[in-house]
Structure 1
């Protein structure tokens, strides 16, 4: 049951931690823990960074999707 909940949130999350972990060659869990601990220490600033990074990644994904559809013509 718990594993199904974790899988649900991992599939529908923004992918910011996964993207950062791939770029920095680190574990995803370490990146997630960093965001959790730093949000307690910095009074929510990492949450703002996470949301902005999610928007940037979403826009990049949308632009790549448009580029691929133009070349498919």
Structure 2
């Protein structure tokens, strides 16, 4: 288990620093960018889900087919 962990620490966690070197930025700024983007994408998906649920509920309340006057 420690060999796998050591391998990923040695070879896998330099993505942000390599990308920062190519862009001429600091690695912490790149990492913060990825964190903020992940929160935004999760929040947008959840917000879209709630909006669609609200609109469907509103549609059901407005366009309910009533068979008679007494169904009000």
Q: TM-score, normalised by structure 2?
A: 0.44
- Give the structure, 1 or 2, with the largest relative contact order (CA under 8 Å, sep 6 or more): 1
Q: Which one has the largest radius of gyration?
A: 2
